[in-house]
């Protein structure tokens, strides 16, 4: 059973399009995250979210928005895609908010914007 799953695995799209990446966790965790890994393999937090609060990394453009229909899902919506958005996006979850608990990562979504 996959603990944290993401769809799609690969996403190729044109500049200016709007796209979504879905994430689901079956661990019963309260907190979920989105990370971006750039071409130099550098990981950076984008959002962390639980049912109480959304914490947004201040460097994330407002074209990116997380949407959580329920505790097990945190989807990432991206409007007006730009070339620089090409990266691998990882979803993760943990029992509690912040970095004081072990995080479980999804397999990643490779986004290529043409």
Which residues contribute to the site for another protein (CB under 8 A)? 33, 40-45, 48, 55, 57, 88, 90, 92, 97-105, 107-108, 110
Q: Tell the smallest beta-carbon distance from residue 1 to another protein (Å).
A: 16
Measured from the CB atom, the residue of 30 and 101 that comes closer to another protein is: 101
For residue 114, the minimal CB distance to another protein (Å) is: 21
* Cβ-based burial of 6 (10 A; exposed 0-12, middle 13-18, buried ≥19): buried
């Amino acid at each position: 059973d996959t603990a944290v799953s993401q769809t799609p695995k690969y996403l190729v799209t044109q500049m200016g399009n709007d796209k979504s990446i879905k994430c689901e966790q079956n661990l019963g965790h309260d907190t979920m995250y989105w990370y971006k890994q750039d071409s130099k393999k550098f990981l950076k937090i984008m959002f962390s979210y639980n049912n109480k609060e959304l914490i947004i990394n201040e460097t994330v453009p407002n074209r990116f928005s997380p949407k959580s229909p329920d505790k097990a899902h945190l989807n990432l919506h991206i409007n007006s895609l730009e070339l620089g958005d090409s990266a691998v996006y990882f979803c993760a979850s943990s029992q509690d908010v912040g970095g004081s608990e072990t995080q479980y990562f999804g397999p990643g979504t490779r986004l290529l914007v043409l």
